A and B are shown apart, each in its own frame.
Chain A
Amino acid sequence: MSHLGDSLSAYLDGEVDEAERSRIAQHLAGCEACSAERDDVGRVRSAVRGLPVLELPPELVRGMLQARRRHRVFRPVWAWAASAVAVAVLAVGLLIGPGEADTAFDIGSLVDQHVARVVVDPGVATIRGPVSGP
């Protein structure tokens, strides 16, 4: 029977099913090489698992939580600011609205000017299309 190899770590980690566990245990009972490897790998496994647990620097999460709270408080302020700008733009638009009368006046002037030019130079009407009939 070949040696256990990768199965040894899976065996130590409880990552084998019952049938494999029993097969491995049986093999280990009669194989010095695999038993020695299991012991070596087991010692390394225990040493890595026994490394000191490092505490998270407390300022790390605290800083992120504070930043999050500030974000929550300030976000509505920005929303209000954006709304205020939108209202202001609308208000300015409404105030400017009555200026349409001036625009109408300007258009009237332009029409008058055009008519005057057509009267002086009838070719303009001819060139510009069927404004006047034949």
Chain B
Amino acid sequence: MPEETVPSWEDVARLHGRTIYNFAYRLTGNADDAHDLVQEVLLRVRKGLQAYTPGSFEGWLWRITRNAFLDEMRRLKRRPTVPLPEGDHDDTGSAPAPEDVLAAVRLGEDMQSALLELPYDFREAVVLCDVVGLSYEEIALAAGIPVGTVRSRIHRGRRMLKELLE
């Protein structure tokens, strides 16, 4: 089995910064909070990397991210706000038809609003799975819950979203 190499802080910022930003944005619907969270996570990663022992890097990173997020939300003591869709943009570089763009923006807005309606535990599970792309096991590690609970939260979260979008 190949030995895991510990990435540098710059690697983490380069490879995971955008994903952490998207995670934070989808959970809060707020670009400023997402910005602050990425900074906080990267600062914690910078300090934590010195003591990191090779294992599940994804699990370690997302545990830090999740804890930073929860701490930040406690600090701000405010509920997530409505999304700022004007900050959204696709990074594919293609030029879709205007009506497709509008439909996508509308769907994105509706989905973002629905996400913010979900209780935190369900929102987090869905975002970690579908936005971040973690496996159930990695989510379980990050959130400190059994895999069975992850499975249940993701499914119930998706069902709630479906009802909210109807």
Binding site for B on A (CB under 8 A): 5-10, 13, 15, 37, 40-41, 43-45, 47-57, 60-61, 64-65, 68
Assess whether B108 is interfacial by the CB under 8 Å rule.
Answer: yes
Q: Tell yes or no: B88 within 8 A of A by CB.
A: yes
Beyond A10-B155, A13-B136, A40-B162, whether A52 also contacts B13 by CB under 8 A is no
Q: How large is the interface on B (under 10, 10 to 19, 20 to 34, 35 or more residues)?
A: 35 or more
B residues at A contact (CB < 8 Å) = 9-10, 13-14, 17-18, 21-22, 25-26, 34-35, 38-39, 42-43, 46, 87-91, 104, 107-108, 111-112, 115, 126-127, 129-131, 135-136, 151-152, 154-156, 158-159, 161-162, 165
Contacts of A37 in B (CB 8 A): 159
- Chain A residues in 8 Å Cβ range of B112: 51
How far, in Å, is A10 (CB) from chain B's closest CB? 5
Q: Are B18 and A6 in contact (CB under 8 A)?
A: no
CB of A9 within 8 A of CB of B158, answer yes
Say how far A50's CB is from chain B's closest CB, in angstroms.
8
